[in-house]
Structure 1
């Protein structure tokens, strides 16, 4: 076999792009090279794969996930992160096929810097055992080493990927928008849900009057209950109460997929089970994770189109409505010169602070980022009800998104008061084992202080220094 291969050449190009991008901070889902990088990795894993399995039930085909899973179970002395990731992927309810699990594994392994581990068992430990043919990349002695060296390079890059956004990996590598919302406790969400192949879609909204009846009933009952609680919980109640139901927020829309409710993944559930969960959690704030049915520019996410049609929804009409809303928002933004609810600042970059997300890390992190002379990026920082989002000022694409439960601290240096930063974990900060500090530069010292005050209001556990 030739010592060159088009897939290896393509992979080198994407790894080079990733290496350049990592010098300016973490590699995010929005980076344009990430999708083709994952696709070419999958193509290499599949090239020359001996996927024919003979059994008593006949001939079946297996994907690359099968040998990766087996490697984690049978090989001793492998990196602990690798085995943990395989277990997490195997038990993840968002993916149901070998293809989906393989794709989720690639994303997990890039983030955890261990994608090279299973390939090492074949290339270095000579554990091929008929998994790959000789004309494959991984099964070839020279090409396997070249591929492994590129994976080693990936293990030195910081991929900050939203791994919970996995429900459509069974069908496509394209990722939809993924949003989190917290809504007022209520008897009725005010929506009709439409399940298609056990994927729960928002089908349509109920009338305003029907929702208000249930809203005021539950509000009166909760008022009596809250009378016995302390001031903190009463304040929390009033914070949540003014939030209207789904149909009033212009956040969750027809065609969106309800992926998680109350911290529980409902992918694959039937409508009756979802209704039972809502009934069980009645009276609690409603936390939802939602897969948006469209992108910010208004185009419908391709993965949902066939399923929306099964609900007898007019996809063309929906797309026209989404695009009109996106155009209206864009025009409003251009008139005001800033994003509604956001402030224009410079994003300076990020740096890993290890396993500690304490405020004491911020002073060193700000100095580390500022001393690297990175090119700053104009962004719009939006401090919302449940988290912080950072959008590129040029095209409003999402750069960062963290919920307050992921943020462990925020602050600034006394000698650089126009710089500010916050530290976030790769999951909820109470259980996270890896934290990253994100550094910004404000227009003025007053703006820096105001943003920190807003962040501190967002999560009561945060301590900050001025």
Structure 2
């Protein structure tokens, strides 16, 4: 029977292609979009449209009316429907239906929804029995068989990546950007049809030092607050309320997996270019030169340094102690360790180079000062609170490192300094 219906044959092919790949199906699986498009085509085929009224029916309109169940307790299906209906990033029936399909694939409830439809005559009337698949018992059964095959497959999808489902099945590349509290991030924003674009990353700002955000990227969320359909200044208002707190941004990248511009962005970028004729997409962080021969982790630079050791400096961790602490460490002639130094958005990590063993991690709020040695341009140090929870007050340690060049040393000190605004330089 399935061979007589081209959409079912196409769906069967998409399912087989996904199974052949093996492993969990993710957003980067090459056949996922094709599968979703075929499912949507089947759910739309033969939908009866009302003779009167302005609202055109879509499959979401019967999904949201499915019975919640007889036990009174939420079911996986009812929770998926509720989550899709309450999604702040989708507003259209198309977007919410697509979000539900992604939830249903991961939660393995799509076959349950179709069975519920078949047992609800009032909703089954949404479909013409002559032209639809869901309204025809003879075609609905092979469709259900294919859905049962899907329930045997594992889906690992980023369900927060839904801000473009109103417009496209093609989803953007998403990133999370974490940064410490600061007075000014250094991002210039422009609102374009309910989306918040970064149009410029200011030189020597926190955003530039973090090397994550690029001009052309979209701010989709700040600390869990959605910016989809944002009004003018909404992002600024949220940041003002979060003043003094660590920030977590969800970014939608202008560049897609293939390196080209994410196609659904093109109409927005056209409007943005009209509003700001000098706007240009940023291809890489300004701080990092093209082809720079350093290791990367998650888009961040890793520095190959020598860890010279540390010393306790008592209850005062200001910049003045560096003048005595650095020589004290050097005079101790401690064993030098080769380390990887990672300046993250919210903390500094130090790993043993040979084994990648984590030696220490220091969030910026625990760092009291950072600076270079006065008589050696390649040596720097920073002080950290070693007992911040002590009832008698914090004590501090000074950690000393040697870099490969004066330029690298200055760069590291600058990046750490930008991580906390009470830092002062010592040169």
TM range (shorter): 0.5 to 0.7
Asked whether 1:154 is paired with 2:150, we answer yes
Q: Deviations over 1:289-324 (max 9, x none)?
A: 0000112443111111111221226899846x6399
Partner of 1:86: 81
- The TM-score normalised by the length of structure 1 is 0.59
**In the TM superposition, what is the alpha-carbon distance from 1:251 to its structure 2 partner?**
1.9
Asked whether 1:300 is paired with 2:261, we answer yes
**In the TM superposition, what is the alpha-carbon distance from 1:274 to its structure 2 partner?**
1.8
Determine the C-alpha separation between the residues in 1 that align with 2:146 and 2:199: 45
**In the TM superposition, what is the alpha-carbon distance from 1:266 to its structure 2 partner?**
1.9
With over 3 angstroms needed to count, the CA separation of the structure-2 counterparts of 1:297 and 1:146, relative to structure 1, is closer
Asked whether 1:115 is paired with 2:110, we answer yes
**In the TM superposition, what is the alpha-carbon distance from 1:35 to its structure 2 partner?**
0.6
Determine the C-alpha separation between the residues in 2 that align with 1:7 and 1:450: 53
Match of 1:197 among 193, 209, 222: 193
Determine the C-alpha separation between the residues in 2 that align with 1:149 and 1:386: 48
Q: Deviations over 1:143-168 (max 9, x none)?
A: 10000111111111110000101101
With over 3 angstroms needed to count, the CA separation of the structure-2 counterparts of 1:189 and 1:385, relative to structure 1, is closer
Partner of 2:228: 267
Find the residue that maps to 2:60 and give its secondary structure. helix
The runs of at least 4 aligned residues of structure 1 exceeding 3 Å deviation read 75-79, 122-129, 313-319, 321-325, 383-387, 453-459
Determine the C-alpha separation between the residues in 2 that align with 1:274 and 1:166: 19
Determine the C-alpha separation between the residues in 2 that align with 1:112 and 1:97: 22
Question: Do the aligned residues in 2 keep the contact of 1:72 with 1:86 (CA within 8 Å)?
Answer: no
Q: Aligned pair count?
A: 310
Find the residue that maps to 2:191 and give its secondary structure. strand
Question: Do the aligned residues in 1 keep the contact of 2:12 with 2:146 (CA within 8 Å)?
Answer: yes
The range that moved more, 273-282 or 245-254, is 245-254
Q: Which runs of 5+ in 2 are unaligned?
A: 299-341, 347-351, 364-427
Partner of 1:281: 242
**In the TM superposition, what is the alpha-carbon distance from 1:69 to its structure 2 partner?**
0.5
With over 3 angstroms needed to count, the CA separation of the structure-2 counterparts of 1:14 and 1:450, relative to structure 1, is farther
Partner of 1:99: 94
Rg comparison, structure with higher value: 2
**In the TM superposition, what is the alpha-carbon distance from 1:26 to its structure 2 partner?**
1.4
Partner of 2:28: 30
Tell me which protein shows more helix as a share of its residues.
1
With over 3 angstroms needed to count, the CA separation of the structure-2 counterparts of 1:140 and 1:287, relative to structure 1, is same
With over 3 angstroms needed to count, the CA separation of the structure-2 counterparts of 1:340 and 1:91, relative to structure 1, is same
Determine the C-alpha separation between the residues in 2 that align with 1:458 and 1:37: 45
Determine the C-alpha separation between the residues in 2 that align with 1:42 and 1:118: 14
Partner of 1:7: 7
Asked whether 1:66 is paired with 2:22, we answer no
**In the TM superposition, what is the alpha-carbon distance from 1:101 to its structure 2 partner?**
0.3
Q: Deviations over 1:82-116 (max 9, x none)?
A: 10011111111011110000000000110111111
Partner of 1:141: 137
Determine the C-alpha separation between the residues in 2 that align with 1:150 and 1:79: 26
**In the TM superposition, what is the alpha-carbon distance from 1:281 to its structure 2 partner?**
0.9
**In the TM superposition, what is the alpha-carbon distance from 1:46 to its structure 2 partner?**
0.4
With over 3 angstroms needed to count, the CA separation of the structure-2 counterparts of 1:72 and 1:305, relative to structure 1, is farther
Asked whether 1:21 is paired with 2:17, we answer no
Find the residue that maps to 1:31 and give its secondary structure. coil
Determine the C-alpha separation between the residues in 1 that align with 2:119 and 2:20: 28
Listed as ranges, the matches of 1:38-437 within 5 Å are 38-52=36-50, 54=52, 58-73=53-68, 76=70, 80-123=75-118, 128-134=123-129, 135-208=131-204, 211=205, 245-312=206-273, 318=280, 322=283, 340-341=296-297, 385=344
